[in-house]
Amino acid sequence: MGLLKDETSTKVLRLIRTVFFLITMIVSFLFFSAPILVSIADILLPTALLSASVSVSVPSSPSIDPSYDKSLFIFFQLISSQLSSYDFRHSLIDIPLVSILRSGIILCVYGLCDGPGLSTGPYLGITTVCSVMSLLFVSVKASYVFGGGGDVVELALFVCSSALAIGHIVVAYRTSCRERRKLLVYKIDVEAVSQIIYLFILELITC
């Protein structure tokens, strides 16, 4: 009976350690992949909100084969109609386009930068510039769009784009701080090893 209890407790402890390890791995992955995750969200969320805000105004076409995905057809139809009748004061197509352009630039810079580039190099600066410029654009556009009133989904689109712009800056700053700490630890390790090698060579010479 006691042996059975010991085996059960061992299995429970092993299960707890496994679950804890998996949670730690997932949190670590999300932490180190934050720039990529924010960029993906920046590409998908404004586009989805735009589709939700104006898809109801896109008329359905009876000539379309029912086997087609209706939501996909509506999405492309809305993109075409928004681009063909673009007006800065009323059209919303430029909000997700700005988000896609912003995320594309940030992802390219993030992929091209190494440790020093992520710590004090162009990553944080370019991310900040892109995010601030997009925030200014969204703010100016919001003054026109909501001057005559707007619905909840349109408001959510502007808030989402602005929040993700700020999120890019926060993630870039945290990534820069993390890389600076890593470089500092690496510098300390290199200096310590160099000092040990120097003392070792000096001892050999004096002997």
Res 108 pLDDT > 50:
yes
Do 165 and 139 meet the contact criterion of CB atoms below 8 Å apart?
A: no
Task: Based on the fold, state whether residues 41 and 110 are members of the same structural domain.
Answer: yes
pLDDT tens profile 25-68: 665 555 567 888 899 999 999 888 887 776 545 444 444 444 44
Total of domains in the chain:
2
- Residue for token digits 């809305």? 78
**How far apart are the C-alpha atoms of 38 and 32, rounded to whole Å?**
11
Triad 166, 53, 128: Cα angle to 5°: 15
- Residue for token digits 């290199």? 190
Res 166 pLDDT > 90:
yes
Triad 118, 124, 126: Cα angle to 5°: 115
Task: Based on the fold, state whether residues 45 and 83 are members of the same structural domain.
Answer: yes
Do 102 and 131 meet the contact criterion of CB atoms below 8 Å apart?
A: yes
3-state secondary structure of 150: coil
pLDDT tens profile 136-162: 999 998 888 887 666 788 888 899 999
Task: Based on the fold, state whether residues 102 and 2 are members of the same structural domain.
Answer: no
Task: Based on the fold, state whether residues 24 and 117 are members of the same structural domain.
Answer: no
**How far apart are the C-alpha atoms of 115 and 183, rounded to whole Å?**
7
The end-to-end CA distance of the chain, in Å, is: 68
- Number of other residues whose CB lies within 10 A of the CB of residue 107: 17
The DSSP letter of residue 66 is T
Segments forming the whole domain that contains residue 188: 34-206
Task: Based on the fold, state whether residues 53 and 23 are members of the same structural domain.
Answer: no
Task: Based on the fold, state whether residues 51 and 26 are members of the same structural domain.
Answer: no
Q: Where are the beta strands (DSSP E) in the chain?
A: none
